[in-house]
Amino acid sequence: MGDYENKEREEVFSKKVRAGKRTYFFDVKSTRSNDYYITVTESKKRLEDGVFVKHKIFLYKEDFEKFAEGLAETVDYIKAHQEVVEKRYEYNPDGAPQKVDDDFSFEI
């Protein structure tokens, strides 16, 4: 990959969130014209062969508000219709997620 292509996807900020068997990556990247966008990547280890399967979405700044509104409305719907208890997990060197006792509520 040439310098031109690398510059198009320059990483500005990254946040990794471990959640049970999945890990989510929230990355802010910059285009060559210095516009920021977000990539959200879900990574999960496939049990049968140990391969990490990744799914990625790209979220552009002109869509931030509508995306956040839609996500908030969807989360609120679920919270209104079912109990939601988020679990905290910490990294365990043997690869298995380890639950932490301090559960917390999910809010946007």
More confident: 84 or 100: 84
Q: Which of 22-31, 71-80, 93-102 has the lowest mean pLDDT?
A: 93-102
Q: How far apart are CA 84 and CA 71, in angstroms?
A: 15
Give per-residue pLDDT as tens, 4-58: 455 447 789 999 999 888 999 999 999 989 999 999 999 999 989 999 999 999 9
pLDDT at 99 (0 to 100): 54
pTM for the full model? 0.68
- Which sequence spans correspond to the domains of the chain? 4-61
Do 108 and 72 touch, CB atoms closer than 8 A? yes
Q: Which long-range contacts (CB under 8 A, 24 or more apart) does 25-29 make?
A: none
pLDDT at 7 (0 to 100): 47
Question: 3.10.450.700, 3.40.640.10, 3.30.1490.20, 3.50.90.10: which CATH number matches 4-61?
Answer: 3.10.450.700
